[in-house]
């Protein structure tokens, strides 16, 4: 009999109760005991919802206080020495120090989880001896069973994915790391078996990347060792985000079930299923409902897909589930009260996706006629949505289809533009700047909320924003920064702000998803063709420029980031949607330039996360992603300086593509990776301006001048002083005022000292 299963569920709660509890604990408003009690209540409420919805295989152990990869690191004692852990169960203090840093130690590196907008804490290998500090899946299983009577499916990150997501080791270290991990995983599984657990889910999304045949042999050997003494415990190896790279070898793993994604990479998985079939003695956990996007499933299409799958799988050996964990989508559409009904009816969040699974399960078990009304409602909702005029703007389609590379080149090559820009701006060597945003204080957020509720007038809100801009322009001047920003006080989110001002987007009230730690974002929804209507950023940028003799950067979010940080319509290719956004941004950039703003930053922090999991598909993605950036930026004058910013980007893998953006200056995060990024420049000569983030803005700690100096010095080993900019590693929106000013002051001091060492303190 077909069963329903959940790969993972959002941790944040319907009203972000989880976020509020964490931040109250960090602010010392609640105790550790209160934090644990509150998060337990949230965790059990999440499980109860799934239980009440009739899910057959509920994931337990997918809940986290910060990040599941960090949970795994601490569970196995993969803890860097700088946190002074002495062994045994890991304290909350050590756990959050790894995530956020402390007064004495920087946080561990944070980077994107595969090609999603979720960030994980990177495990660091220092040659340490691993140990099992706590069997967290077992603890989660016992809690669910005791409190709710749920026979849960414990979830843990697989050993090979854990290895591949880690840093600090050489290839020669791999065998010894695996030999350390195997007995720890064996112990976890043995204890789960002894407890009477029926199924355990081991996540191995790394199997969907371009791993080699030799690597797959290593995976096979790992699972032979893990399962050799496992008899009554059923192991499900779960993959997602794409098709598995080695289908036959994956299916031959000595486990009881395999989870495959039939949404992202579903074409290839289905082809392999037809070509190679599926073992009669294994369960196929078929991901058929999109776990990463918010569109309502076409139930007829999904039922047809299930019919094709069932032709190749033993009867009763199919589980239907989302394509991945539901942490990538909001909790429930029921919280949305203001959405247009036609659009709302076309949406499906985590809870609604579970209902879709139930309908499909009923159709398979009892026949489609048993849920005929559900299918009829589904078809009517999707038909009405697809007939919306905003989804069929022919003039937009025609314009964006002409966004070719030949339309997206600057008038002069960078070397010639650079000379003109140096003459125009007269900046000192090692110019200092910030990435764009300044602290969004409680006063800023409260005032914006009052304005949105109509409690203050538009003019009152504008006056408030101008006052914030004026104050921070003065602060930047007093600090001695060279290129200033207006602070983005009018913006809630770097994507949402632009989406609100472009046609083709729609917005939600409470559709939050976790980005990193307690940071939640409310992605806009691209439901129609994207159209520029009027200037979006000119007023604030021009006002800031009027207050100072310094250059002030105009601040925009780039087309690829707007795409990757939105929920995107699924009836057009992502390339087509990106071209529409790029043409709209081009008009905004031209408006800024016409208004006298001659430094314009077009941020692309999400360029990396859109990179496909398969290396064979990288070039195609990078070609159109780079082209979209250039479509947006190429029409400016030679003396207008285009900046861009990227977060957590694996620079080594696509440095040539980044250079091809043809931005005059790029700023990149390096602080959490301890300056490792500079090693890239020993292999590749980067000729454009570049700012290596010299301190981590995701941590509340204020780094010492010496820490920033170390990163600056590393950068100067491989970069020319004339191309090196100094800046934080990201925007400062989430930081407090005092720590922001203190950190920037240290940054300026470190820069001045570097100039003195170069003998260019007064040189421009």
| 297 marked as binding residue | no
CA dihedral 480, 482, 486, 491 (to 10 degrees): -100
Which distant-in-sequence residues (6+ apart) come within 8 Å of 379 by Cβ?
Answer: 298, 299, 300
Give every CB contact of residue 366 below 8 A, 6+ residues apart in sequence.
Answer: none
4 is in an annotated binding site: no
The closest alpha carbon to 200, from 11, 300, 57, 355, belongs to 57
Cα separation, 674 vs 696, in Å, equals 10
Cα-Cα end-to-end distance for the chain:
75
How does DSSP classify residue 615?
G
Is 645 annotated for ligand binding? yes
Determine whether the annotation assigns residue 730 to a binding site.
yes
Cα 392 to the center of its chain, rounded Å: 30
Q: 647 a known binding residue? A: yes
Strand ranges inside 52-133, DSSP E: 59-60, 110-112, 119-121
Q: Is 471 annotated as a binding residue?
A: no
Instruction: Confirm or deny that 54 is annotated as ligand binding.
Output: no
Cβ contact 302:288 at 8 Å: yes
Please tell me whether 603 is known to bind a ligand: yes
Read off φ and ψ for residue 454, nearest 5 degrees. Answer: 80, 15
Buried b (16+ CB within 10 A) or exposed e, 252-284: ebebbbbbbbbbbbbebbbebbeeeebbeebbb
Distance from the Cα of residue 519 to its chain's centroid: 11
DSSP state of 763: -
- Report whether 57 contacts 357 (CB < 8 A): no
d(CA 234, CA 197): 8
CA distance 639 to 596: 12
Q: What are phi and psi of 659, to 5 degrees?
A: -65, -35
Q: Tell me if residue 117 falls in helix, strand or coil.
A: coil
User: What are the phi and psi torsion angles at 514 (to 5°)?
Assistant: -75, 135
Burial (CB count <10 Å: 0-12, 13-18, 19+), residue 383? exposed
d(CA 498, CA 505): 9
Interior/surface letters 526-549, b for 16+ CB within 10 angstroms, e for the rest: bbbbbbbeebbbbebbbbbbebee
The token duo for 297 is 């499933």
- Tokens for 352, please give them: 């609604």
From the list 119, 328, 598, 698, the catalytic residue is: 698
Annotated ligand binding at 208? The verdict is no
Active site residue 598: no
112 known member of a binding site: yes
Residue 19 in marked binding region: yes
Q: Is 436 annotated as a binding residue?
A: yes
Residue with tokens 């957590």: 648
- Is residue 117 marked as binding? yes
Rounded to an integer, what distance in angstroms lies between the CA atom of residue 361 and that of residue 363?
5
Q: Is 669 annotated as a binding residue?
A: yes
Residues 6+ away with beta carbon under 8 Å from 650: 111, 608
Nearest in space to 283 (alpha carbons), one of 302, 310, 246, 244:
310
Of 188, 120, 156, 147, the closest CA to residue 46 belongs to 147
What does R_g of the chain's alpha carbons equal in angstroms? 26
Six token digits for residue 140: 């989660």
Read out DSSP for 273-321?
HHHH---TTSEEEEEEE-SS--BPP-HHHHHHHHHHHHTTS-TT-EEEE
- Binding-site entries for L-homocysteine: 435-437, 488, 603
- Binding-site entries: 16-19, 112, 117, 435-437, 488, 519-520, 565, 603, 609, 645, 647, 669, 730
- Binding-site entries for 5-methyltetrahydropteroyltri-L-glutamate: 16-19, 112, 117, 519-520, 565, 609
- Binding-site entries for L-methionine: 435-437, 488, 603
- Could you list the active site residues? 698
């Amino acid at each position: 009999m077909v069963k329903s299963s959940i790969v993972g569920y959002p941790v944040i709660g319907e009203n972000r109760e989880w976020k509020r509890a964490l931040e109250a604990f960090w602010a010392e408003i609640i105790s550790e005991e209160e934090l644990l009690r509150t998060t337990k209540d949230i965790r059990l409420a999440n499980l109860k919802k799934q239980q009440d919805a009739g899910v057959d295989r509920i994931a337990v152990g997918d809940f986290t206080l910060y990040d599941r990869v960090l949970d795994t690191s601490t569970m196995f004692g993969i803890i860097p020495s700088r946190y002074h852990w002495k062994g045994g169960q890991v304290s909350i203090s050590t756990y959050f120090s790894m995530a956020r840093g402390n007064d004495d130690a920087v946080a561990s590196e944070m980077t994107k989880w595969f090609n999603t907008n979720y960030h994980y804490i990177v495990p660091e290998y220092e040659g340490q001896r691993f140990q099992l500090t706590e069997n967290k899946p077992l603890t989660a299983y016992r809690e669910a069973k005791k409190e709710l009577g749920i026979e849960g499916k414990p979830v843990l990150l697989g050993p090979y994915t854990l290895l591949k997501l880690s840093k600090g080791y050489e290839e020669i270290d791999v065998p010894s790391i695996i030999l350390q991990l195997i007995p720890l995983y064996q112990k976890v599984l043995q204890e789960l078996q002894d407890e009477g657990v029926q199924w355990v889910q081991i996540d191995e999304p790394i199997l969907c990347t371009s791993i080699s045949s030799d690597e797959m042999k290593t995976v096979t050997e790992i699972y032979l060792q893990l399962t050799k003494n496992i008899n009554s415990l059923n192991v499900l190896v779960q993959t997602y985000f794409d098709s598995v790279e080695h289908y036959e070898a994956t299916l031959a793993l000595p486990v009881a079930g395999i989870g495959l994604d039939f949404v992202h990479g579903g074409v290839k998985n289905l082809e392999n299923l037809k070509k190679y079939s599926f073992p009669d003695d294994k369960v196929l956990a078929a991901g058929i409902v999109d776990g990463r996007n918010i569109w309502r499933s076409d139930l007829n299409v999904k039922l047809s897909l299930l019919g094709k799958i069932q032709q190749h799988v033993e009867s009763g050996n199919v589980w239907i589930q989302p394509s991945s964990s539901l942490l990538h989508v909001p909790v429930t559409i029921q919280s949305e009260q203001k959405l247009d009904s036609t659009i709302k009816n076309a949406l499906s969040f985590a809870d609604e996706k579970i209902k879709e699974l139930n309908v499909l399960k009923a159709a398979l078990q009892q026949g489609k006629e048993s849920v005929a009304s559900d299918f009829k409602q589904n078809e009517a909702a999707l038909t009405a949505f697809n007939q919306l005029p905003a989804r069929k703007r022919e003039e937009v389609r025609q314009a964006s289809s002409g966004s070719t590379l030949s339309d997206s080149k600057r008038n002069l090559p960078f070397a010639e533009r650079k000379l003109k820009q140096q003459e125009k701006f007269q900046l000192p060597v090692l110019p200092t700047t910030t990435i764009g945003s300044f602290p969004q204080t409680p006063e800023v957020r409260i005032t914006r909320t009052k304005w949105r509720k109509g409690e203050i007038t538009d003019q009152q809100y504008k006056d408030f924003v101008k006052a914030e801009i004026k104050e921070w322009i003065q602060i930047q001047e007093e600090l001695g920064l060279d290129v200033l920003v207006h602070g983005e006080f009018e913006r809630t989110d770097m994507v949402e702000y632009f989406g609100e001002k472009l046609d083709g987007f729609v917005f939600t009230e409470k559709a939050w998803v976790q980005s990193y730690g307690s940071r939640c974002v409310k992605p806009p929804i691209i439901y129609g063709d994207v159209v520029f209507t009027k200037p979006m950023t000119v007023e604030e940028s021009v006002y800031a420029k009027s207050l100072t003799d310094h250059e002030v950067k105009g601040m925009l979010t780039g087309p690829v980031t707007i795409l990757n940080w939105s929920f995107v319509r699924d009836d057009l290719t992502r390339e087509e949607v990106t071209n529409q956004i790029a043409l709209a941004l081009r008009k905004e950039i031209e408006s800024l330039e016409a208004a006298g703003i001659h430094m314009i930053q077009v941020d692309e922090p999400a360029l990396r996360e859109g990179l496909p999991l398969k290396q064979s598909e990288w070039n195609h993605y990078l070609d159109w992603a780079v082209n979209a950036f250039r479509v947006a930026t190429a029409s400016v004058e030679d003396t207008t300086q285009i900046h861009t910013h990227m977060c957590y980007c694996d620079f080594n893998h696509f440095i040539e593509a980044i250079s091809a953006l043809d931005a005059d200056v790029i700023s990149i995060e390096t602080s959490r990776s301890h300056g490792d990024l500079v090693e890239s420049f020993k292999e590749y000569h980067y000729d454009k301006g570049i700012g290596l983030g010299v301190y981590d803005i995701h941590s509340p700690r204020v780094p010492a001048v010496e820490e920033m100096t170390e990163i600056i010095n590393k950068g100067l080993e491989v970069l020319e002083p004339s191309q090196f900019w100094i800046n934080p590693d990201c925007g400062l929106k989430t930081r407090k005022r005092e720590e922001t000013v203190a950190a920037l002051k240290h940054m300026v001091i470190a820069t001045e000292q570097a100039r003195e060492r170069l003998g260019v303190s007064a040189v421009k």
